[in-house]
Amino acid sequence: MTIKNTNLGKSKFFFLLLLLFTSYQNITIAKELVYFGKTVDIKILDKLSSKNKLVQIKIGEDYNFKNLVLKVLKCKNSEFDDNPEITSYLQVKDLNNKNNNEVFVFNGWTFSSSPSIQVFDHPVYDLWILKCY
């Protein structure tokens, strides 16, 4: 009568399952990192001078542009390549508004493909989200 060592086969099988599970999690995390960015490119149009400026803003940092303070809290690239969409959560303060410095003139989501959906309505400036990386 021969006795087979099945414990070695079971441990190899469980090790293989563990390896597959951890690699699947790493792929999922890496995939999410591709869609969520750390920096945003925004084009700002000064309506009075008709000049525009391209600015790069890091997520979570304040950016001062003339009398505006811009802060991007999140940006996300679309998961589909056929119709690229960039969404970002943006907060804008106007420093000329002396009534209440704690109130944002804009605080919400912006969409690159539909700038008319955003409710950022400023008499002097327009903003467009161009890139999230």
Q: What's the CA gap between 58 and 41, in Å, rounded? A: 9
Each of the 133 residues of the chain gets a pLDDT tens digit; together they read 555 555 555 666 666 555 555 655 555 444 444 578 899 999 999 999 999 999 999 999 999 999 899 999 999 987 766 667 888 999 999 888 776 666 788 898 888 877 666 667 788 998 888 888 8
Rounded to two decimals, the pTM is: 0.68
pLDDT at 21 (0 to 100): 59
- 104 Cβ partners below 8 Å, 6+ apart? 91, 92, 93
Quote the pLDDT of residue 8. 52
Q: Is 45 exposed, middle or buried (0-12, 13-18, 19+ CB in 10 A)?
A: middle
Question: What is residue 16's predicted lDDT score, i.e. its pLDDT?
Answer: 59
> What pLDDT, on the 0 to 100 scale, is given for residue 114?
74
Do residues 131 and 86 touch, judged by C-beta distance below 8 A? yes
Alpha helical stretches, state H, 1-133: 6-35
Domain boundaries, the chain: 1-35, 37-132
Structure token digits, residue 91: 């907060």
> Given this model, what pLDDT does residue 32 score?
47
